[in-house]
Structure 1
């Protein structure tokens, strides 16, 4: 059992306050802090602290030294000697790119294909940097805004009609004439491959119409219109601005979740949350980015089946103080635990006896983690604790009036 210090990723779209405040650092931070990683990803493994609070190794090195003891036989047999998930705190002040992730078969085939072509792993035009898929679960810590999944085409037709943009009429006709997944595929493909000259004309026309429609009152699609204006301001010549009109606009309250399986086109817009994903780097981008977009490969990966928002929200199972977010991902299970150190409102402690590796990431307050017959360690907000498979059951106790942590593990069933 080891205390973990996460790795801060300073991407430009990050927040200067959210992660710094959580970790008790000066606010605003010197640079945007987008993600705080707790895991064993080669690009940023968490640091392991010794009893004196000093870094003595990292989690990837510790796992590599004894995979069986750290991960357990079930995890090693199923995923090899690697931790199959990565948990992170994500804090977005600006929209992320439109993106999707491949299925397990697509990832394996794509990785082998690009290896055969001799593409370096770090090549800017490489799509598959490993042979694994990347399902994702986001649980909001603040109000959280996102785009995810293709909206029912009939509703999108209504949205495009409300805009009353003459330049949109040919594209509106494509979807109105075939309001299904094939119509969505045809329209998305057309927009993504439009000449720059057409995009330069079409996007401003859509933005002007959105302004006019919003100024006329409170239209049904007000959130979608504000989003397209926000995206158009940052990416005025990007077809992803148009593509955003095809997706569900989703608002999450704190504690609500959003699950993105393979093929789901999505973009996080704003907010702070806990994200857990399969431990992979495979991303197919679809717009709102200056980075490489491989349109043919993206189209192979995308699932154009319309999805209702309810289809993307994981069910929640409550077990005492633990709220478990249920998904189909075999690599991870995520839950939220809130403890009351006063014992007046909620339970003040909880016992965990699940086999396999676990990470408990503390987001508010302080917890004390005590293994059966062992020495307790204290973990504060912004830190995490690693519990190896070979270690005994632990009892987690709130050391502050309120303590909130997220628990990640590899499901057995």
Structure 2
């Protein structure tokens, strides 16, 4: 078992205080958006007291660290990445491809000679990128297209004539194809038309109360004229309480708005963006991969064993509350990362023991066998979703 030294990603939307507060360190004054735990080639976790990274450790002995089932399914690499995500400001509207789309897109861009480092490249690898976010604080997110009747009720109250063509489309065809047509109409309009619609919506919302109006004003202030401001009103606007989670499958248009959470995702860099960003947007490709099926958001809670059930094979996340005098036994599960978010917990495996405090995490390879947790605190366990 190894204590991990984890890199922090300083994206502009990140909170300058949330991750330092969890770690008990002084803020740098810069945004600290994501604490990465895993073997991502771009920012692998280090091993405390060693010159190796977790990527080095796995590369030297994939079978020993990952276990044969994991290697057979995913090859000699860790299939998931665990993060603490701290959003002070909204992330971009984005979606991720399914496995077939990712493989085809990656091969197509390779054949076209697009460098992997090119800012306009869509597919950095050939893998899908399902995600799960579990709230540590009150957490606000946009996730999936909501039923058109809800959009018509909420947005129709704004009385914005510039929105009428979009709303008329949803009235006429309140289904997947109607949502596709309405979203496409908005996102492909000339820039001056988009700005006029966004400005009209933000102006109408300035004198109103309610979650949708408040959201439009906040997004409009940060991204003036961006059609993503209006696109956000077509999505389910969700607020998670601590311990609640969202699963984001392929094709789901989403954005995290504010809050701190534990995120687990397939170890892929494939992102198609649709707005609320200065980064590359490939609208035709986004429209091709999006799932426009309107449905309410499904909020997940942990089962009796602390697990958040998803169909993803790349990962599984569980939450374990450890109280004094009671040991929590974690059955062998191939590779795993243990992250403490509250209190002090000792994690003991067959080869060693580590003490975890908030924001600290440990790697337990497949050979570690049964792991026990003792102390007082809360620990998230990340494993592969197979077996």
Q: Look up the match of 2:37.
A: 38
Q: Look up the match of 1:367.
A: 345
Q: Look up the match of 1:337.
A: 320
Determine which of 164, 167, 170 is the counterpart of 1:172. 167
Deviations, residues 134-172 of structure 1 (Å, cap 9, x unaligned):
000000000000000101012212223211111222222
Q: Retained in 1: the 8 A contact 2:244–2:301?
A: no
Q: CA deviation at 1:45?
A: 0.5
- Distance in 2 separating the partners of 1:156 and 1:253: 23
Determine which of 103, 106, 116 is the counterpart of 1:108. 103
Q: Which aligned pairs between 1:246-285 and structure 2 lie closer than 5 A?
A: 246-285=234-273
Q: Retained in 1: the 8 A contact 2:314–2:386?
A: no
- Distance in 2 separating the partners of 1:170 and 1:25: 52
Deviations, residues 325-373 of structure 1 (Å, cap 9, x unaligned):
00000011101111123x4xxxx3212222310100111222212224x
Q: Look up the match of 1:219.
A: none
Q: Which aligned pairs between 1:95-174 and structure 2 lie closer than 5 A?
A: 95-174=90-169
Determine which of 358, 361, 370 is the counterpart of 1:393. 370
Secondary structure at the residue paired with 1:316? Answer: coil
Q: Look up the match of 2:10.
A: 10
Q: What TM-score, normalized by structure 1, do the two folds share?
A: 0.91
- Distance in 2 separating the partners of 1:63 and 1:23: 26
Identify which range, 97-106 or 384-393, moves more after superposition. Answer: 384-393
Q: CA deviation at 1:44?
A: 0.6
- Distance in 1 separating the partners of 2:176 and 2:343: 46
Structure 1's consecutive aligned runs of 4 or more residues displaced over 4 angstroms after TM superposition are: none
Q: CA deviation at 1:315?
A: 5.1
Q: Look up the match of 1:211.
A: 206
Q: Retained in 2: the 8 A contact 1:315–1:327?
A: no
Q: Does 1:411 align with 2:385?
A: yes
Q: Retained in 2: the 8 A contact 1:314–1:327?
A: no
Q: Retained in 1: the 8 A contact 2:322–2:373?
A: no
Q: Retained in 2: the 8 A contact 1:140–1:256?
A: yes
Q: Does 1:298 align with 2:265?
A: no
Q: Which runs of 5+ in 2 are unaligned?
A: none
Q: Which runs of 5+ in 1 are unaligned?
A: 215-221
Q: Retained in 2: the 8 A contact 1:370–1:396?
A: yes
Q: CA deviation at 1:207?
A: 1.0
